[in-house]
A and B are shown apart, each in its own frame.
Chain A
Amino acid sequence: MLKIENMTGGYGEVDILKGIDLTLEAGEILTVAGTNGAGKSTLAKAVVGLLPRVGGRVLLSGEDITKVPAERRARTGIGYVPQTANVFSSLTIVENLEVVEGVKDRKARMAEMFDLFPALAGRRRSRAGSLSGGERQQLAFARALMTKPPVIVLDEPTAALSPIMADESFSRIKALAGTGTAVLLIEQRARQALEISHRGAIMDGGKVALEGEARTLLADERAAELYLGVGH
Protein backbone atom coordinates (compact mmCIF):
# COMPACT_ATOMS: atom_id res chain seq x y z
CA MET A 1 0.00 0.00 0.00
CA LEU A 2 2.74 2.41 1.09
CA LYS A 3 6.35 1.90 0.17
CA ILE A 4 9.21 4.13 1.28
CA GLU A 5 12.44 3.61 -0.64
CA ASN A 6 15.82 4.94 0.43
CA MET A 7 14.26 8.09 1.78
CA THR A 8 16.56 10.95 2.70
CA GLY A 9 15.90 14.60 3.36
CA GLY A 10 15.48 17.37 5.86
CA TYR A 11 14.49 20.95 6.52
CA GLY A 12 17.64 22.63 5.25
CA GLU A 13 21.03 21.47 4.08
CA VAL A 14 21.35 18.74 6.70
CA ASP A 15 19.86 15.32 6.07
CA ILE A 16 17.68 14.36 9.03
CA LEU A 17 16.53 11.17 7.29
CA LYS A 18 19.47 9.06 6.20
CA GLY A 19 18.09 6.37 3.95
CA ILE A 20 14.90 4.78 5.16
CA ASP A 21 13.13 1.79 3.66
CA LEU A 22 9.74 0.75 4.98
CA THR A 23 6.65 -0.91 3.60
CA LEU A 24 3.14 -0.93 4.90
CA GLU A 25 0.38 -3.24 3.70
CA ALA A 26 -3.36 -2.61 3.73
CA GLY A 27 -4.86 -3.39 7.12
CA GLU A 28 -1.46 -3.40 8.75
CA ILE A 29 -0.25 -1.34 11.69
CA LEU A 30 3.42 -0.43 11.64
CA THR A 31 4.72 1.14 14.83
CA VAL A 32 7.64 3.49 14.48
CA ALA A 33 9.36 4.12 17.81
CA GLY A 34 12.62 5.71 18.82
CA THR A 35 14.04 8.35 21.10
CA ASN A 36 13.24 12.05 20.80
CA GLY A 37 14.96 13.57 17.82
CA ALA A 38 15.36 10.24 16.04
CA GLY A 39 13.50 11.66 13.04
CA LYS A 40 10.08 10.02 13.44
CA SER A 41 8.07 13.19 12.86
CA THR A 42 10.35 14.12 10.00
CA LEU A 43 9.62 10.75 8.40
CA ALA A 44 5.90 11.40 8.82
CA LYS A 45 6.23 14.79 7.15
CA ALA A 46 8.17 13.28 4.27
CA VAL A 47 5.43 10.70 3.73
CA VAL A 48 2.60 13.27 3.71
CA GLY A 49 4.54 15.76 1.58
CA LEU A 50 5.43 18.47 4.08
CA LEU A 51 9.19 18.00 4.23
CA PRO A 52 10.94 20.74 2.22
CA ARG A 53 13.62 18.45 0.78
CA VAL A 54 13.21 14.74 0.14
CA GLY A 55 15.27 12.17 -1.72
CA GLY A 56 14.34 8.58 -2.55
CA ARG A 57 10.80 7.53 -3.36
CA VAL A 58 7.37 7.23 -1.81
CA LEU A 59 4.93 4.88 -3.53
CA LEU A 60 1.23 4.78 -2.81
CA SER A 61 -0.52 1.73 -4.26
CA GLY A 62 2.44 1.35 -6.59
CA GLU A 63 2.26 4.91 -7.87
CA ASP A 64 5.25 7.19 -7.32
CA ILE A 65 3.96 10.17 -5.33
CA THR A 66 7.33 11.63 -4.35
CA LYS A 67 6.66 14.79 -6.37
CA VAL A 68 2.95 15.06 -5.58
CA PRO A 69 2.16 18.11 -3.39
CA ALA A 70 0.80 17.53 0.12
CA GLU A 71 -2.72 18.75 -0.66
CA ARG A 72 -3.10 16.21 -3.46
CA ARG A 73 -1.70 13.38 -1.37
CA ALA A 74 -4.25 14.32 1.28
CA ARG A 75 -7.14 14.27 -1.16
CA THR A 76 -6.15 11.03 -2.79
CA GLY A 77 -5.21 8.79 0.04
CA ILE A 78 -2.99 9.77 2.93
CA GLY A 79 -4.55 10.88 6.18
CA TYR A 80 -2.28 12.57 8.71
CA VAL A 81 -2.54 13.52 12.35
CA PRO A 82 0.46 15.73 13.15
CA GLN A 83 2.13 15.55 16.53
CA THR A 84 1.21 19.14 17.43
CA ALA A 85 -1.16 21.83 16.14
CA ASN A 86 -3.37 19.15 14.65
CA VAL A 87 -6.71 20.97 14.67
CA PHE A 88 -7.80 24.38 13.37
CA SER A 89 -8.19 26.05 16.77
CA SER A 90 -10.15 29.05 15.54
CA LEU A 91 -12.63 26.94 13.58
CA THR A 92 -15.54 25.08 15.14
CA ILE A 93 -15.60 21.30 15.32
CA VAL A 94 -18.00 21.11 12.39
CA GLU A 95 -15.87 23.52 10.37
CA ASN A 96 -12.76 21.46 11.07
CA LEU A 97 -14.47 18.55 9.34
CA GLU A 98 -16.22 20.59 6.65
CA VAL A 99 -13.03 22.23 5.50
CA VAL A 100 -11.39 18.93 4.52
CA GLU A 101 -11.28 18.42 0.77
CA GLY A 102 -11.56 15.23 -1.19
CA VAL A 103 -14.49 13.93 0.86
CA LYS A 104 -17.22 11.91 -0.82
CA ASP A 105 -20.72 12.20 0.61
CA ARG A 106 -19.69 14.67 3.28
CA LYS A 107 -22.95 14.61 5.25
CA ALA A 108 -22.85 10.87 5.77
CA ARG A 109 -19.16 10.91 6.56
CA MET A 110 -19.60 13.60 9.19
CA ALA A 111 -22.42 11.63 10.78
CA GLU A 112 -20.14 8.59 10.90
CA MET A 113 -17.42 10.64 12.57
CA PHE A 114 -19.83 11.92 15.20
CA ASP A 115 -20.92 8.32 15.85
CA LEU A 116 -17.32 7.24 16.20
CA PHE A 117 -16.44 10.18 18.46
CA PRO A 118 -19.54 10.92 20.53
CA ALA A 119 -17.66 13.44 22.67
CA LEU A 120 -17.41 15.68 19.61
CA ALA A 121 -21.04 15.34 18.65
CA GLY A 122 -22.23 17.28 21.68
CA ARG A 123 -19.94 20.22 20.93
CA ARG A 124 -20.31 20.69 17.19
CA ARG A 125 -20.38 24.47 17.32
CA SER A 126 -17.55 24.87 19.84
CA ARG A 127 -14.23 26.21 18.70
CA ALA A 128 -11.61 23.50 18.50
CA GLY A 129 -9.33 25.73 20.58
CA SER A 130 -11.69 25.30 23.53
CA LEU A 131 -11.49 21.50 23.54
CA SER A 132 -9.62 19.42 26.08
CA GLY A 133 -6.48 17.58 25.01
CA GLY A 134 -8.35 14.32 24.57
CA GLU A 135 -11.18 15.87 22.56
CA ARG A 136 -8.69 17.69 20.38
CA GLN A 137 -6.93 14.45 19.61
CA GLN A 138 -10.27 12.89 18.66
CA LEU A 139 -11.06 15.82 16.39
CA ALA A 140 -7.64 15.54 14.78
CA PHE A 141 -8.28 11.86 14.19
CA ALA A 142 -11.76 12.52 12.78
CA ARG A 143 -10.42 15.24 10.48
CA ALA A 144 -7.82 12.86 9.10
CA LEU A 145 -10.41 10.14 8.58
CA MET A 146 -12.88 12.32 6.64
CA THR A 147 -11.51 11.23 3.26
CA LYS A 148 -11.51 7.52 4.22
CA PRO A 149 -7.80 7.38 3.43
CA PRO A 150 -6.30 3.99 2.61
CA VAL A 151 -3.19 5.07 4.53
CA ILE A 152 -3.10 7.06 7.74
CA VAL A 153 -0.05 8.50 9.47
CA LEU A 154 -0.47 9.12 13.20
CA ASP A 155 2.29 11.05 14.96
CA GLU A 156 2.19 10.26 18.67
CA PRO A 157 -1.59 10.26 18.89
CA THR A 158 -1.63 9.30 22.57
CA ALA A 159 1.10 11.63 23.82
CA ALA A 160 -1.23 14.04 25.58
CA LEU A 161 -3.71 11.44 26.77
CA SER A 162 -4.40 9.82 30.13
CA PRO A 163 -3.74 6.06 30.25
CA ILE A 164 -7.45 5.30 29.92
CA MET A 165 -7.90 7.57 26.93
CA ALA A 166 -4.74 6.16 25.39
CA ASP A 167 -6.20 2.64 25.68
CA GLU A 168 -9.33 3.86 23.98
CA SER A 169 -7.27 5.44 21.25
CA PHE A 170 -5.29 2.24 20.67
CA SER A 171 -8.45 0.20 20.32
CA ARG A 172 -9.79 2.71 17.78
CA ILE A 173 -6.58 2.41 15.80
CA LYS A 174 -6.81 -1.37 15.89
CA ALA A 175 -10.40 -1.24 14.71
CA LEU A 176 -9.43 1.13 11.91
CA ALA A 177 -6.77 -1.27 10.66
CA GLY A 178 -9.41 -3.98 10.89
CA THR A 179 -11.33 -2.16 8.16
CA GLY A 180 -8.34 -2.36 5.82
CA THR A 181 -6.62 0.95 6.51
CA ALA A 182 -2.83 0.91 6.58
CA VAL A 183 -1.63 2.66 9.72
CA LEU A 184 1.80 4.20 10.22
CA LEU A 185 1.81 4.69 13.98
CA ILE A 186 4.52 6.77 15.59
CA GLU A 187 4.46 6.18 19.32
CA GLN A 188 6.30 6.89 22.55
CA ARG A 189 4.19 4.27 24.29
CA ALA A 190 6.06 1.78 22.18
CA ARG A 191 5.17 -1.38 24.07
CA GLN A 192 1.47 -0.70 23.98
CA ALA A 193 1.69 0.30 20.34
CA LEU A 194 3.57 -2.85 19.40
CA GLU A 195 0.94 -4.91 21.15
CA ILE A 196 -1.66 -3.83 18.59
CA SER A 197 0.79 -3.71 15.69
CA HIS A 198 1.80 -6.23 13.09
CA ARG A 199 5.26 -4.90 12.64
CA GLY A 200 7.54 -2.37 14.23
CA ALA A 201 10.53 -0.25 13.33
CA ILE A 202 12.82 1.53 15.72
CA MET A 203 14.50 4.66 14.46
CA ASP A 204 17.76 6.09 15.65
CA GLY A 205 19.65 9.02 14.17
CA GLY A 206 17.52 9.21 11.04
CA LYS A 207 17.84 5.51 10.25
CA VAL A 208 15.85 2.40 10.95
CA ALA A 209 17.95 0.68 13.62
CA LEU A 210 15.76 -2.36 14.09
CA GLU A 211 12.78 -3.68 12.21
CA GLY A 212 10.61 -6.74 12.42
CA GLU A 213 7.47 -8.46 13.59
CA ALA A 214 5.91 -6.61 16.51
CA ARG A 215 5.97 -9.83 18.56
CA THR A 216 9.66 -10.36 17.91
CA LEU A 217 10.51 -6.79 18.85
CA LEU A 218 8.54 -7.06 22.06
CA ALA A 219 10.51 -10.16 23.00
CA ASP A 220 13.84 -8.72 21.87
CA GLU A 221 16.07 -7.92 24.84
CA ARG A 222 18.15 -5.41 22.94
CA ALA A 223 15.15 -3.52 21.64
CA ALA A 224 13.60 -3.52 25.07
CA GLU A 225 16.68 -2.15 26.73
CA LEU A 226 17.60 0.39 24.14
CA TYR A 227 14.34 1.72 22.94
CA LEU A 228 11.26 0.49 24.63
CA GLY A 229 12.18 1.36 28.18
CA VAL A 230 12.95 -1.35 30.70
CA GLY A 231 10.13 -2.64 32.86
CA HIS A 232 6.62 -1.84 31.81
Chain B
Amino acid sequence: MTGFAELLFSGLMSGLIIGLAGLAVTLVFGIARFSNAATGDTMTLGAYGALVGSAFTGSVILGSLIGLAAGALASVVSYLLVFRPLQGRSPISSLLASIGLAFFIRAIIGLVFGHDQNVFQLDIVRPIKFAGIRIQPNDLKFAAVAISTLAVVFIILHLTPIGRRMRAVADNPLLAKVSGISPRPVMLALWSIAGAVSAIAGIILGMKTVVSPESGWEMLLPAFAAAVLGGIGHPIGAIVGGLLIGVAQELATPFVGFTYKIAVSFIVLLLVLLIRPKGLFGRSEGVR
Protein backbone atom coordinates (compact mmCIF):
# COMPACT_ATOMS: atom_id res chain seq x y z
CA MET B 1 0.00 0.00 0.00
CA THR B 2 2.81 2.39 0.94
CA GLY B 3 4.57 1.37 -2.23
CA PHE B 4 1.51 2.26 -4.22
CA ALA B 5 1.06 5.61 -2.46
CA GLU B 6 4.69 6.50 -3.09
CA LEU B 7 4.40 5.60 -6.75
CA LEU B 8 1.24 7.65 -6.95
CA PHE B 9 2.90 10.67 -5.40
CA SER B 10 5.92 10.34 -7.61
CA GLY B 11 3.61 9.95 -10.60
CA LEU B 12 1.79 13.15 -9.72
CA MET B 13 5.13 14.94 -9.46
CA SER B 14 6.26 13.84 -12.92
CA GLY B 15 2.70 14.47 -14.05
CA LEU B 16 3.00 18.13 -13.09
CA ILE B 17 6.14 18.47 -15.21
CA ILE B 18 4.52 16.65 -18.13
CA GLY B 19 1.41 18.75 -17.62
CA LEU B 20 3.39 22.01 -17.78
CA ALA B 21 5.11 20.88 -20.96
CA GLY B 22 1.75 19.73 -22.32
CA LEU B 23 0.29 23.12 -21.46
CA ALA B 24 2.98 24.82 -23.54
CA VAL B 25 2.25 22.46 -26.42
CA THR B 26 -1.49 22.96 -26.21
CA LEU B 27 -1.31 26.76 -25.95
CA VAL B 28 0.84 26.98 -29.06
CA PHE B 29 -1.39 24.54 -30.87
CA GLY B 30 -4.55 26.37 -29.87
CA ILE B 31 -3.34 29.78 -30.98
CA ALA B 32 -0.52 29.31 -33.51
CA ARG B 33 -2.08 26.08 -34.78
CA PHE B 34 0.78 23.64 -35.03
CA SER B 35 2.50 21.08 -32.81
CA ASN B 36 5.71 22.65 -31.60
CA ALA B 37 8.37 19.95 -31.51
CA ALA B 38 10.86 22.44 -30.04
CA THR B 39 8.95 22.52 -26.74
CA GLY B 40 11.21 19.89 -25.15
CA ASP B 41 14.39 21.67 -26.14
CA THR B 42 13.04 24.96 -24.86
CA MET B 43 12.71 23.12 -21.54
CA THR B 44 16.35 22.07 -21.78
CA LEU B 45 17.38 25.59 -22.61
CA GLY B 46 15.54 26.86 -19.55
CA ALA B 47 17.30 24.31 -17.37
CA TYR B 48 20.75 25.29 -18.68
CA GLY B 49 19.85 28.93 -18.28
CA ALA B 50 19.00 28.22 -14.67
CA LEU B 51 22.23 26.28 -14.14
CA VAL B 52 24.33 29.12 -15.51
CA GLY B 53 22.24 31.70 -13.67
CA SER B 54 22.61 29.83 -10.39
CA ALA B 55 26.37 29.59 -10.85
CA PHE B 56 26.59 33.32 -11.54
CA THR B 57 24.28 34.56 -8.83
CA GLY B 58 24.93 31.87 -6.25
CA SER B 59 21.19 31.55 -5.81
CA VAL B 60 19.07 28.77 -7.25
CA ILE B 61 16.00 30.99 -7.13
CA LEU B 62 17.60 33.87 -9.02
CA GLY B 63 19.15 31.35 -11.36
CA SER B 64 15.76 29.83 -12.06
CA LEU B 65 14.33 33.24 -12.89
CA ILE B 66 17.17 33.70 -15.35
CA GLY B 67 16.38 30.29 -16.83
CA LEU B 68 12.74 31.25 -17.12
CA ALA B 69 13.64 34.47 -18.90
CA ALA B 70 15.99 32.55 -21.22
CA GLY B 71 13.20 30.14 -22.15
CA ALA B 72 10.72 32.94 -22.80
CA LEU B 73 13.25 34.91 -24.83
CA ALA B 74 14.31 31.91 -26.92
CA SER B 75 10.68 31.16 -27.57
CA VAL B 76 9.87 34.70 -28.71
CA VAL B 77 12.96 34.79 -30.90
CA SER B 78 12.02 31.48 -32.50
CA TYR B 79 8.59 32.95 -33.23
CA LEU B 80 10.03 36.07 -34.78
CA LEU B 81 12.70 34.31 -36.84
CA VAL B 82 11.07 30.99 -37.70
CA PHE B 83 7.35 30.70 -37.07
CA ARG B 84 6.13 34.16 -37.99
CA PRO B 85 7.56 34.00 -41.51
CA LEU B 86 5.78 30.65 -41.91
CA GLN B 87 2.44 31.96 -40.69
CA GLY B 88 -0.32 31.38 -43.19
CA ARG B 89 1.46 28.37 -44.69
CA SER B 90 0.39 24.83 -43.94
CA PRO B 91 0.84 23.73 -40.29
CA ILE B 92 3.17 21.04 -41.63
CA SER B 93 5.72 23.73 -42.54
CA SER B 94 5.75 25.02 -38.98
CA LEU B 95 5.89 21.52 -37.52
CA LEU B 96 8.87 20.62 -39.72
CA ALA B 97 10.56 23.91 -38.90
CA SER B 98 10.03 23.24 -35.20
CA ILE B 99 11.68 19.83 -35.54
CA GLY B 100 14.63 21.54 -37.19
CA LEU B 101 14.67 24.17 -34.47
CA ALA B 102 14.63 21.42 -31.83
CA PHE B 103 17.75 19.82 -33.29
CA PHE B 104 19.37 23.21 -33.62
CA ILE B 105 18.79 24.18 -29.97
CA ARG B 106 20.01 20.79 -28.78
CA ALA B 107 23.12 20.98 -30.95
CA ILE B 108 23.98 24.45 -29.66
CA ILE B 109 23.51 23.35 -26.07
CA GLY B 110 25.69 20.30 -26.67
CA LEU B 111 28.33 22.49 -28.28
CA VAL B 112 28.39 25.04 -25.48
CA PHE B 113 27.91 22.84 -22.44
CA GLY B 114 29.08 19.41 -23.62
CA HIS B 115 27.17 16.21 -23.22
CA ASP B 116 27.90 15.50 -19.56
CA GLN B 117 25.11 15.46 -17.08
CA ASN B 118 24.86 18.45 -14.80
CA VAL B 119 23.12 18.73 -11.47
CA PHE B 120 21.73 21.65 -9.56
CA GLN B 121 23.39 22.26 -6.20
CA LEU B 122 20.34 21.92 -4.01
CA ASP B 123 20.40 21.64 -0.24
CA ILE B 124 20.07 18.04 0.80
CA VAL B 125 17.06 17.71 3.03
CA ARG B 126 15.91 14.62 4.80
CA PRO B 127 12.66 13.18 3.48
CA ILE B 128 9.66 13.68 5.65
CA LYS B 129 7.11 11.01 6.42
CA PHE B 130 3.54 11.85 5.71
CA ALA B 131 0.67 9.37 6.02
CA GLY B 132 3.21 6.61 5.88
CA ILE B 133 4.90 7.73 2.67
CA ARG B 134 8.28 9.34 2.29
CA ILE B 135 8.23 12.72 0.67
CA GLN B 136 11.17 14.86 -0.42
CA PRO B 137 10.58 18.40 0.88
CA ASN B 138 12.01 19.67 -2.40
CA ASP B 139 9.22 17.86 -4.21
CA LEU B 140 6.72 19.91 -2.26
CA LYS B 141 8.49 23.09 -3.34
CA PHE B 142 8.50 21.94 -6.95
CA ALA B 143 4.82 21.12 -6.75
CA ALA B 144 4.13 24.55 -5.30
CA VAL B 145 6.06 26.21 -8.12
CA ALA B 146 4.29 24.12 -10.76
CA ILE B 147 0.87 24.83 -9.31
CA SER B 148 1.61 28.55 -8.98
CA THR B 149 2.74 28.58 -12.61
CA LEU B 150 -0.54 27.01 -13.65
CA ALA B 151 -2.46 29.51 -11.55
CA VAL B 152 -0.63 32.43 -13.14
CA VAL B 153 -1.26 31.10 -16.65
CA PHE B 154 -4.96 30.65 -15.92
CA ILE B 155 -5.22 34.09 -14.37
CA ILE B 156 -3.61 35.57 -17.46
CA LEU B 157 -5.89 33.62 -19.80
CA HIS B 158 -9.12 34.34 -17.98
CA LEU B 159 -8.73 37.60 -16.13
CA THR B 160 -6.57 39.85 -18.28
CA PRO B 161 -7.38 41.58 -21.57
CA ILE B 162 -4.46 39.98 -23.40
CA GLY B 163 -5.52 36.55 -22.12
CA ARG B 164 -9.04 37.14 -23.33
CA ARG B 165 -7.67 38.06 -26.73
CA MET B 166 -5.53 34.93 -26.76
CA ARG B 167 -8.61 32.81 -26.08
CA ALA B 168 -10.54 34.67 -28.76
CA VAL B 169 -7.82 33.99 -31.34
CA ALA B 170 -7.71 30.33 -30.27
CA ASP B 171 -11.48 30.10 -30.59
CA ASN B 172 -11.91 31.77 -33.96
CA PRO B 173 -8.95 33.58 -35.55
CA LEU B 174 -10.91 35.24 -38.35
CA LEU B 175 -13.60 36.52 -36.03
CA ALA B 176 -10.81 37.81 -33.77
CA LYS B 177 -9.43 39.81 -36.68
CA VAL B 178 -12.76 41.38 -37.55
CA SER B 179 -13.18 42.18 -33.86
CA GLY B 180 -10.14 44.41 -34.18
CA ILE B 181 -7.68 42.11 -32.41
CA SER B 182 -4.13 42.51 -33.76
CA PRO B 183 -2.34 39.19 -34.07
CA ARG B 184 1.09 40.57 -33.13
CA PRO B 185 0.66 41.22 -29.37
CA VAL B 186 -1.32 38.02 -28.97
CA MET B 187 1.45 36.00 -30.59
CA LEU B 188 4.17 37.68 -28.53
CA ALA B 189 2.23 36.95 -25.34
CA LEU B 190 1.64 33.37 -26.44
CA TRP B 191 5.29 32.66 -27.18
CA SER B 192 6.55 34.33 -24.00
CA ILE B 193 4.13 32.34 -21.89
CA ALA B 194 4.79 29.06 -23.71
CA GLY B 195 8.54 29.62 -23.40
CA ALA B 196 8.38 30.52 -19.73
CA VAL B 197 6.16 27.55 -18.92
CA SER B 198 8.46 25.18 -20.84
CA ALA B 199 11.48 26.60 -19.05
CA ILE B 200 9.87 26.11 -15.65
CA ALA B 201 9.05 22.51 -16.57
CA GLY B 202 12.65 22.00 -17.70
CA ILE B 203 14.08 23.57 -14.55
CA ILE B 204 11.94 21.45 -12.22
CA LEU B 205 12.81 18.35 -14.25
CA GLY B 206 16.49 19.26 -14.03
CA MET B 207 16.33 19.80 -10.29
CA LYS B 208 14.53 16.51 -9.73
CA THR B 209 16.91 14.57 -11.94
CA VAL B 210 19.85 15.80 -13.99
CA VAL B 211 20.32 18.25 -16.81
CA SER B 212 21.65 17.01 -20.12
CA PRO B 213 21.16 18.24 -23.68
CA GLU B 214 18.63 15.44 -24.23
CA SER B 215 16.57 15.87 -21.08
CA GLY B 216 13.85 18.05 -22.60
CA TRP B 217 13.69 16.22 -25.90
CA GLU B 218 12.83 13.06 -23.98
CA MET B 219 9.83 14.86 -22.49
CA LEU B 220 8.36 15.76 -25.87
CA LEU B 221 6.42 12.55 -26.36
CA PRO B 222 4.82 12.65 -22.90
CA ALA B 223 4.04 16.34 -23.45
CA PHE B 224 2.33 15.67 -26.79
CA ALA B 225 0.49 12.73 -25.25
CA ALA B 226 -0.74 14.92 -22.39
CA ALA B 227 -1.93 17.62 -24.78
CA VAL B 228 -3.72 15.12 -27.01
CA LEU B 229 -5.21 13.19 -24.09
CA GLY B 230 -6.60 16.39 -22.61
CA GLY B 231 -7.97 17.56 -25.95
CA ILE B 232 -5.50 19.53 -28.02
CA GLY B 233 -5.87 23.28 -27.45
CA HIS B 234 -7.48 22.75 -24.05
CA PRO B 235 -5.24 24.08 -21.24
CA ILE B 236 -6.88 22.31 -18.28
CA GLY B 237 -7.02 19.15 -20.35
CA ALA B 238 -3.25 19.25 -20.83
CA ILE B 239 -2.69 19.41 -17.06
CA VAL B 240 -5.10 16.59 -16.33
CA GLY B 241 -3.60 14.60 -19.20
CA GLY B 242 -0.11 15.20 -17.81
CA LEU B 243 -1.09 14.04 -14.33
CA LEU B 244 -2.77 10.90 -15.71
CA ILE B 245 0.25 10.06 -17.84
CA GLY B 246 2.66 10.75 -14.99
CA VAL B 247 0.75 8.43 -12.69
CA ALA B 248 0.29 5.77 -15.38
CA GLN B 249 4.04 5.81 -16.08
CA GLU B 250 4.94 5.34 -12.44
CA LEU B 251 2.36 2.63 -11.84
CA ALA B 252 3.55 0.81 -14.95
CA THR B 253 7.20 0.89 -13.89
CA PRO B 254 7.04 -2.20 -11.63
CA PHE B 255 5.67 -4.16 -14.58
CA VAL B 256 7.51 -2.83 -17.61
CA GLY B 257 10.66 -1.56 -15.97
CA PHE B 258 12.13 1.92 -15.82
CA THR B 259 13.48 2.07 -19.37
CA TYR B 260 10.15 1.30 -20.97
CA LYS B 261 7.95 3.66 -19.03
CA ILE B 262 8.22 6.18 -21.85
CA ALA B 263 6.24 3.65 -23.92
CA VAL B 264 3.23 4.51 -21.76
CA SER B 265 3.06 7.94 -23.37
CA PHE B 266 3.24 6.44 -26.81
CA ILE B 267 0.47 3.96 -26.07
CA VAL B 268 -1.72 6.69 -24.56
CA LEU B 269 -1.09 8.95 -27.56
CA LEU B 270 -1.95 6.17 -29.99
CA LEU B 271 -5.06 5.05 -28.15
CA VAL B 272 -6.44 8.58 -27.84
CA LEU B 273 -5.78 9.34 -31.49
CA LEU B 274 -7.48 6.11 -32.51
CA ILE B 275 -10.41 6.06 -30.13
CA ARG B 276 -11.16 9.61 -29.09
CA PRO B 277 -9.15 12.09 -31.16
CA LYS B 278 -10.73 15.08 -29.47
CA GLY B 279 -9.39 13.90 -26.10
CA LEU B 280 -11.00 14.04 -22.68
CA PHE B 281 -12.05 17.66 -22.73
CA GLY B 282 -12.05 18.37 -26.44
CA ARG B 283 -15.04 20.19 -27.82
CA SER B 284 -16.15 19.79 -31.36
CA GLU B 285 -16.39 23.55 -31.62
CA GLY B 286 -14.50 26.44 -30.09
CA VAL B 287 -10.82 25.86 -29.51
CA ARG B 288 -9.62 23.51 -32.18
Contact = CB atoms under 8 A, between A and B. Distances in A.
Given A75-B180, A101-B181, A129 B174 contact: no
Nearest to A85: B172
Contacts of B171: 88-91
Nearest to A95: B164
A152 to B, nearest CB: 11
16 contacts: A49-B177, A50-B174, A82-B175, A82-B178, A90-B287, A91-B164, A95-B167, A95-B168, A98-B161, A98-B164, A99-B164, A99-B176, A99-B181, A101-B179, A102-B180, A147-B180
A207 B120 CA distance: 69
| Chain B residues touching A, range | 20 to 34
B177 A50 contact: yes
A129 B286 contact: yes
Given A71-B183, A90-B283, A129-B286, A48 B178 contact: yes
B179 A100 contact: yes
A143 interface: yes
A80 interface: yes
A160 interface: no
Interface string A61-78: 000000001111111000
A75 B181 CA distance: 9
A7 to B, nearest CB: 18
Interface residues of A, number: 28
A100 B172 contact: no
B209 interface: no
B286 A99 contact: no
A94 to B, nearest CB: 10
B182 interface: yes
Interface string B143-177: 00000000000000000010011011011101111
A89 B182 contact: no
Given A72-B180, A88-B175, A89-B171, 5 more contacts: A70-B178, A71-B177, A71-B181, A85-B175, A89-B172
A99 B177 contact: no
A73 B177 CA distance: 9
B178 A99 contact: no
B285 interface: yes
Contacts of B170: 90
Interface string B97-109: 0000000000000
Interface string B256-288: 000000000000000000000000000101110
8 closest A-B pairs by CB? A101-B180, A90-B286, A75-B180, A74-B180, A70-B177, A89-B286, A88-B171, A102-B180
A171 B265 CA distance: 57
A147 B181 CA distance: 13
A86 interface: yes
B282 to A, nearest CB: 12
Contacts of B177: 49-50, 69-71, 74
B175 A86 contact: yes
A169 B177 CA distance: 25
B193 to A, nearest CB: 18
A119 to B, nearest CB: 21
Contacts of B165: 99
Contacts of B179: 71, 74, 99-101, 143
